[in-house]
Amino acid sequence: MGIVDTITSAFEASTNRAPDEGGDDGSKGSFWCDDCGNRVRDVEVEREGLETDGEGTPFCPDCGDEMRFERATGSSCAC
């Protein structure tokens, strides 16, 4: 019984992510800093006032490293 509880909790934790990606605001994904765990959506970069490398890639506000772009998966149709 204890094992089942543990598995259920882990499952819920891994699927309980906020559905905040792939919305209808033009966002194509998010920029990540793996070291700091920072995430900034592409549509938030300008709003946040982050520095970029001139091609739209922002630098992490904490460590200054170039952030990694990850496309959002979700509601967008791939037809």
Bin 27: left if φ > 0, else alpha if -120 < ψ < 50, else beta.
Answer: beta
d(CA 20, CA 32): 15
- Asked if 7 interacts with Zn ion (CB under 5 A), we say no
Interaction pattern, residues 11-30, with Zn ion; x per rule: CB under 5 A: --------------------
Q: How far is the CB of 57 from Zn ion (least distance, A)?
A: 13
Give the H/E segment covering residue 68.
strand 68-71
Least CB distance to Zn ion at residue 65 (A): 5
Least distance in angstroms from the C-beta of 44 to Zn ion:
16
CA nearest 27: which of 60, 71, 66?
Answer: 71
Q: Using CB under 5 A, which residues numbered 33 to 52 contact Zn ion?
A: 33, 35-36
Q: Which residues bind Zn ion (CB under 5 A)?
A: 33, 35-36, 60, 62-63
